[in-house]
Amino acid sequence: MKTTIIGAGNMGQGIASRFVAGGHSVTFVDADPQAAEKAAAEILASAQNGATVDTAHLDDVELGEVVVLALWYGANKQVVQQLGDKLSGKVVVDIANPLNETFDGLATAPGSSSAEEVAEVANPGAAVLKAFNTTFAGTLHSGAVDGQPLDVFIAGDNETAKGKLKQLVEDGGMRPVDIGPLERARNIEAMGLLHIILQSELNTKWGSGVKILG
């Protein structure tokens, strides 16, 4: 499967490392072309089964089936609006944790989420999902914590789109957990906030994972 990751920072690279490990191709897009080229060169070493890694500019990128917004809250909505009709028929994955300025709460209005806000401004033909906001960049490179595969919680209204993302997650050695419709993004964004806040308490140095056992 061809994927596009917009944002070549730590999270974008972490997600890309799982995709290419599962044999899926990645195109990096970043406001800094040099950052995109550097990320592509580093991730290429993890590619399996013919997966390719390349770069493109936002204004002329040929989007893959799945488009990951590895961007901060706010920037995700701006990029979606900029892409406009190009997102029609695409699976759009929002990973943002919408933190407030003091990083101790959520900036979204009650009864909403970053993912739902992205869906409001996206092309109506795009299928917006929420995922990867409870996983940290470092753990994504291995796909596991303490020998346990990462759980990737997925919220969305389009079952076909979810199926594509679940395949990417499974092929990358992780476990997809379908939590229901897009409005459930509110729950995992709150979970993502809690996971972030607990880093200082647990002293896990961003190496922990949220895992459902049973």
The per-residue pLDDT for 71 is 98
3 state SS of 129: strand
Residue 214, in any domain of the structure: no
Residue 113, in any domain of the structure: yes
DSSP state of 103: S
The per-residue pLDDT for 159 is 98
Total domains present in the chain: 1
CA-CA distance, 4 to 64, in Å (whole number)? 5
The per-residue pLDDT for 120 is 98
The per-residue pLDDT for 151 is 98
Residue 63, in any domain of the structure: yes
Domain coverage including residue 172:
2-202
Predicted TM-score of the model (pTM): 0.97
CATH at 95: 3.40.50.720
Cα 28 from chain centroid (whole Å) = 13
CA-CA distance, 24 to 168, in Å (whole number)? 8
What parts of the chain have a pLDDT lower than 70?
Answer: none
